[in-house]
Structure 1
Amino acid sequence: MTSTATRATADGAGRPVPRRLLAAATRLFADQGYDRTSVQEIVEAAGVTKGALYHYFGSKDDLLHEVYGRVLRLQQERLDAFAEADAPVERRLRDAAADVVVTTIENLDDTKIFFRSMHHLGPEKHKQVRAERRRYHERFRALIEEGQRSGVFSPTTPADLVVDYHFGSVHHLANWYRPDGRLSPEEVAGHLADLLLRALRP
């Protein structure tokens, strides 16, 4: 028997209300912009009440924060797994460099929305996101520095600059990548990861 709590948090197909709200918000933010989307439009698109939205998300900028936060958490978990794998550092870095490209493309609307609208976040959430992104970049940089210390990578270019180089390419994906283009996400990821490694090899 379905419990009252389950009915309160999911629709007839079993889709949790927070996921419905995030899906609706993502679609609307992508189509018409964060600042031009009202809370009423979001709850109508999700088929829930304003009370439900405020139960799961305290405000519209909480939704914006979560749109990007869920992607960043996924990428952090995957980067941690690559970094801790039992493999040569060059392999681990290439896997990590390719993965952030693929996961960004797979969540392109989320990423595009966030970088276009992050200035709407309140000071505390903005600070939190910057800290989360910094943790990701520091873990990625640590792989480069490991390879530089061991002589696998050239120490000529500072690791910080290498990180900025790669993530500049990743953040630019939303401006040019098209799902119907000739390159698959994996092919784009492979090319960008190989460019990164070529820049690091002695």
Structure 2
Amino acid sequence: MPDTTPKPKRELPRREQPRREQIHEVASRLFSERGYHATSMRELAGELGMQGGSLYAHISGKEDLLVQIVNRASQQFDEALLSLRDVNLPADEKLREAMHRHILVVADNMDSATVFFHEWKHLSPEAYTRVTGWRDSIDHFYRDLVTEGMRTGLFRPDLDVKMAALLILSTVNWTYTWFHPQGTLTPRDVADGFADMLLSGLRAR
């Protein structure tokens, strides 16, 4: 049977926000829901209650918006994760906290996270290169955590560091496809559940 549940109405951008922030918020939502290529500047202007040409007083174009969304998302992940490098915690506890912070960024920014992980492939070559550079830095962050755990005897000495880091990244990054911020699970619940399963395979016997 078709789903007849009434769909919640989308809130209009908050008027107290600066105009540029309103544009960023609505663009994140539309790119997330419809995709970057399927969203026109006219549709974006209509959602904002603006004339199409008025948008260009705030941005240079649609790709400029995509670059801004992707750059802001990467900065949020950097601020959440990279500060953990100098935290005095065992590698297993640090990994658990990293997964929580990673998932929390996704949960608090579902639209922009969806754009970041799904629409970044539409960036121009220069911006695309910056995103792949970011992905490499986060990959190395998780590889370093695994290596630290192996060095301190917490993790198995025979681990494939690259594969372990890819498994962790795939687990936390993919939450944007299914996590519901209004659901019964919190980001901490999800992170702890994933960490328990992953650490059972990583820890030394």
Name the TM-score, length of structure 2 as normaliser: 0.81
Residues 1:119 and 2:132 aligned together: no
Question: Quick one: which of 24, 27, 34 aligns to 1:25?
Answer: 27
Superposed displacement of residue 200, structure 1: 1.4
Alignment of 1:78-157 (within 5 A): 78-157=80-159
Partner of 1:59: 61
Superposed displacement of residue 91, structure 1: 1.9
SS state at 1:152 partner: coil
Structure 1 residues 36, 146: CA separation in 2 closer, same or farther (over 3 Å shift)?
A: same
Alignment of 1:152-163 (within 5 A): 152-163=154-165
Structure 1 residues 57, 145: CA separation in 2 closer, same or farther (over 3 Å shift)?
A: farther
Superposed displacement of residue 116, structure 1: 2.9
Judge conservation of contact 1:82–1:96 (CA < 8 Å) in 2: yes
Q: Distance in 2 between matches of 1:12 and 1:162?
A: 42
Superposed displacement of residue 129, structure 1: 0.7
1:31-70 CA-to-partner distances (Å, cap 9, x unmatched) read 3221121112223333456666445543212212222322
Q: Distance in 2 between matches of 1:156 and 1:57?
A: 51
Partner of 1:166: 168
Partner of 1:3: none
Structure 1 residues 57, 160: CA separation in 2 closer, same or farther (over 3 Å shift)?
A: farther
Judge conservation of contact 1:79–1:140 (CA < 8 Å) in 2: no
Q: Distance in 2 between matches of 1:127 and 1:56?
A: 25
Structure 1 residues 12, 67: CA separation in 2 closer, same or farther (over 3 Å shift)?
A: closer
Aligned-residue RMSD, C-alpha: 2.4
Give the paired residue count. 192
Judge conservation of contact 2:114–2:176 (CA < 8 Å) in 1: yes
Gaps of 5+ in 2: 1-12
Partner of 1:183: 185
Question: Quick one: which of 14, 25, 36 aligns to 2:38?
Answer: 36
Gaps of 5+ in 1: 1-10
SS state at 1:86 partner: coil
Structure 1 residues 87, 65: CA separation in 2 closer, same or farther (over 3 Å shift)?
A: same
Q: Distance in 1 between matches of 2:94 and 2:54?
A: 42
1:151-181 CA-to-partner distances (Å, cap 9, x unmatched) read 2211212121111101112232233223343
- Which structure shows the bigger proportion of residues in helix conformation? 1
Name the TM-score, length of structure 1 as normaliser: 0.82
Structure 1 residues 193, 68: CA separation in 2 closer, same or farther (over 3 Å shift)?
A: farther
